[in-house]
Structure 1
């Protein structure tokens, strides 16, 4: 495995098990002292720290009480009016379905944009519920969409309400993108799991899928627009921040102590990989998170940039290769994201990007990917469903059932490394 980082201190406070146990911490009413201890024990980027602190500070508050379209339209109107000086009207607001994490409302804006030409612009409001299964920053998502416009297909970013000044919860507004997430005759599980594109679409979409991942990983990380992002300051920091993020969420949200999760966190802490370069990471790059045109087999938009950060490209590769997102081919080969067998997927990624897929680093992030998925469904998903904080309570409870095959994946990945 990777050489242990030279500054690693196994006695450091953030490496030790929590001093408080599950039976004495009321996670539904976290104290300011406990929130501070978690922040100190699991250092992450400043904006991520702010978002996670906010989540815990608001947790004792009311559960999700539904979102009224009229109230959202009023908030959107107030937000736009602070930025756009001309007349405008909001037409045909309606809910968008899909996704386990965010509320989404589509509408048409009748306005005269800065270019001076009257326009009917289709837009989407993306907003958190009372608590999200992935607690993230709308400001970071807005900045990432702005950065990648013209590099890979993304919705155009318009406005952001990062602190819920105008809307009930933090929100952003971006352009509506045409396309579908799966073939019209295909079926899939919730959140895009196990989409079968079919042989023809698979072959036509694969080059775009790989070339656009390569473009993301080779994009500049020092763009001045990325004010809400911190860059890793050592070769080990990317892995450390990623592990801290998800171990912290597990400590914040989990309802039971699972020894395998503590063992996995300890193993990762002792085997942090050295990044050979830093890249922008989408962090949820997979089928189900892009729209495409069925006729042309052209990807029209990459969605769900909420987890994006600056890190190690192997984190994206490992997440994309998760068994949850793939399926077996007609010939019996398991296909990464329903596209290619793993060895072919990695070879074609290396060809498209000119960057190597380092086996030991990739293995670390495959362990982390399984760990992260468990945190999301059995930690955050459990806590939000239990407290009634989401519009998707039933779905979150259903997703909890995925934790057990994920725990088996985590166990097998760890066994490979020991």
Structure 2
């Protein structure tokens, strides 16, 4: 596959893998995979079916601090010795002969990725019932990681995570907006006025949802958590709020969000939250704020994806960019939490 199609040089990447001691046989082929529309993700496979996964920033002009795969490399390396399920790190490529941008290469993890409705529909109700509690337990485990022990105590500021998130994502919104959204501005004002006091500081993934994990095909246990580009230090309930923002439940109106979790067997949002409370021992008093913040942030991410696809069509994943109705629906659902 040509580098103009993949934004990678497959021959040079094969040489790099071999130089790292990877078992490369013959030439490698590179194919874009996944439905993510932020960092670009590729399956790398040699002639003997050895496989790896590579991630690079999207094409075109990027917002400051966004799509930092070098930071992902640091985080995954730090978490490798913990109980958090992550793919093994092969290395970070910083060679223009391979890719014009930094390229993170990790081991390929076999398993079930629930990123299409037909995959979710093929699961049994018993398998579906395990996914929500499984994600909750992964979050609880991540939030229990000792920052100093893994060397991530300086990953980000220790100041108010909510204030940092509001500042960062307002900046992202102003840089990527393509239209006026008064309801989003109203939600922003509510969030500013209702920032809770911080209770603790932990590693937070920032984007943990059903399409960002690889599951065991039989037990539906989480084998690997993917897409760590939004990982930072912050309030652990913010992570739970983000997960719930991506978790439609039976009875919710369709707004364009991937809605596999509306199928019979999947836990509702309150059940996922309760599973987290049990696994972590944390109080959920301020969860409504963090859930609203999560939906606000996802809405801004969606608008950023739409902007990048408009500016550079090659960034759009299969099926094209998300619809404007997705942003509007997320904001409406978040506003419901503020009343």
Instruction: Please give the TM-score of this superposition, normalised by the length of structure 1.
Output: 0.67
Query: Match for residue 255 of structure 2?
Result: none
Q: How far apart are residue 271 of structure 1 and its match?
A: 2.2
Tell me which of 327, 332, 357 is aligned to 2:249: 327
Q: How far apart are residue 289 of structure 1 and its match?
A: 1.3
Q: How far apart are residue 86 of structure 1 and its match?
A: 9.6
Q: For 1:155 and 1:396, how far apart are their aligned partners in 2?
A: 27
Confirm whether residue 343 of structure 1 aligns to residue 270 of structure 2. yes
SS in 2 for 1:263: helix
Q: For 1:298 and 1:270, how far apart are their aligned partners in 2?
A: 39
Confirm whether residue 366 of structure 1 aligns to residue 302 of structure 2. no
Q: For 1:90 and 1:274, how far apart are their aligned partners in 2?
A: 56
Structure 1 residue runs without a partner (length 5+): 1-64, 111-118, 189-193
SS in 1 for 2:222: strand
Query: Match for residue 105 of structure 2?
Result: 173
Query: Match for residue 312 of structure 2?
Result: 388
Tell me which of 289, 306, 310 is aligned to 2:233: 310
Q: In the alignment, is the contact (CA less than 8 A) between 1:195 and 1:325 conserved in 2?
A: no
Q: In the alignment, is the contact (CA less than 8 A) between 2:128 and 2:220 conserved in 1?
A: no
Larger Rg: 1
Q: Deviations over 1:26-57 (max 9, x none)?
A: xxxxxxxxxxxxxxxxxxxxxxxxxxxxxxxx
Confirm whether residue 230 of structure 1 aligns to residue 230 of structure 2. no
Tell me which of 125, 143, 146 is aligned to 1:217: 143
Q: For 2:227 and 2:310, how far apart are their aligned partners in 1?
A: 25
Equivalent residues in 2 for 1:106-117, closer than 5 Å: 106-108=43-45
Q: In the alignment, is the contact (CA less than 8 A) between 1:335 and 1:342 conserved in 2?
A: no
Q: How far apart are residue 346 of structure 1 and its match?
A: 2.2
Q: How far apart are residue 281 of structure 1 and its match?
A: 0.8
Deviates more, 1:223-232 or 1:208-217: 223-232
Q: Deviations over 1:130-183 (max 9, x none)?
A: 147993210121122222224122110121136968412232000000011139
Q: For 1:196 and 1:356, how far apart are their aligned partners in 2?
A: 35
Q: How far apart are residue 252 of structure 1 and its match?
A: 0.6
The alignment yields a C-alpha RMSD, in angstroms, of 3.5
Q: Deviations over 1:369-395 (max 9, x none)?
A: 2211221122x1232122125431774
Q: In the alignment, is the contact (CA less than 8 A) between 1:138 and 1:162 conserved in 2?
A: no
Q: For 1:183 and 1:372, how far apart are their aligned partners in 2?
A: 21
Equivalent residues in 2 for 1:53-72, closer than 5 Å: 67-68=4-5, 71-72=8-9
Q: For 2:38 and 2:276, how far apart are their aligned partners in 1?
A: 29
The number of residues matched between the two structures is 325
Structure 2 residue runs without a partner (length 5+): 252-259
Q: How far apart are residue 256 of structure 1 and its match?
A: 2.2
Q: Deviations over 1:299-342 (max 9, x none)?
A: 221111111111111111111112x533318xxxx968973233
Q: For 1:275 and 1:199, how far apart are their aligned partners in 2?
A: 37
Q: Label 1:294 to 1:85 Cα distance change in 2 as closer, same or farther (>3 A).
A: closer
Q: In the alignment, is the contact (CA less than 8 A) between 1:179 and 1:293 conserved in 2?
A: yes
Q: For 2:182 and 2:176, how far apart are their aligned partners in 1?
A: 16
